[in-house]
């Protein structure tokens, strides 16, 4: 059962609306541009300017971010000397813990063999998709050539 509800009390851009008022009942309701702004579907007046919210939220967040970066910078200078030294120590600690948990290979492992294994795994994962795509393209070209042959045969008769 369709209800003919009027958008904007009958003075909107599109008259008949669906019962949920999400779209026009018929046709396409294009945006209506004016020098003041653009009215979209079911908008009767221009919305209020909300740009002040970006500044009201963004400025305190930026201030907090600057304070946190400053505190981190001062802490690393006091405890480790500089940020690059702290970063190197932190990464070395992460790598050492990952090796102890057997998440990374030992330090004396052969990286070329690990690379070969990773390439083999990636090829194993991608190979079925490659075969399927190439088979699809082959079948498409075959159907095209069959249709061309049939068309040529009909023209010869």
Which two three-digit tokens encode residue 98? 């990952």
Higher pLDDT, 64 or 12: 64
Residue extents of the structural domains in the chain:
67-109, 110-146
pLDDT, tens only, 91-112: 999 999 999 998 888 888 888 8
Tokens of 43: 């908008």
End-to-end CA distance of the chain: 56
Give the integer Cα–Cα distance in Å for 141 and 132: 14
Rounded-to-10 torsion of CA 89, 93, 94, 99: 140
pLDDT at 18 over 60: yes
Q: Looking at residue 151, what is its pLDDT?
A: 59
pLDDT of residue 114: 85
Tell me the per-residue pLDDT of 42-65, one tens digit each, with 9 for 90 and over: 666 777 778 889 999 999 999 999
pLDDT surpassing 80 at residue 32: no
Spatial separation of the C-alpha atoms in residues 142 and 45, rounded to whole Å: 58
Q: Is the pLDDT of residue 89 over 70?
A: yes
How confident is residue 31, by pLDDT bands cut at 50, 70 and 90?
Answer: low
| β-strand pairing of 16-17 with 5-6 | antiparallel
What lies within 8 Å, CB to CB, of 104 at 6+ separation is 95, 98
Predicted TM-score (pTM) of this structure? 0.42
Q: What is the DSSP letter of 4?
A: -
Higher pLDDT pick, 27 / 11: 27
């Amino acid at each position: 059962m369709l209800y003919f509800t009027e958008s904007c009390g009958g003075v909107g851009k599109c008259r008949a609306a669906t019962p949920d008022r999400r779209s026009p009942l018929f046709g396409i309701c294009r945006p209506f541009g004016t020098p003041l702004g653009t009215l979209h579907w079911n908008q009767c007046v221009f919305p209020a300017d909300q740009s002040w919210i970006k500044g009201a939220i963004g400025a305190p967040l930026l201030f907090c971010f600057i304070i946190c970066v400053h505190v981190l910078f001062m802490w690393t200078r006091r405890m480790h000397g500089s940020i690059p030294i702290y970063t190197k120590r932190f990464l070395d600690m992460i790598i050492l813990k990952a090796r102890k948990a057997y998440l990374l290979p030992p330090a004396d492992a052969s990286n070329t063999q690990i690379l070969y294994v990773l390439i083999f795994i990636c090829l194993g994962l991608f190979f079925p998709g490659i075969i399927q795509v190439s088979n699809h393209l082959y079948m498409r070209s075959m159907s095209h050539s069959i249709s061309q042959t049939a068309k040529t045969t009909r023209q010869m008769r």
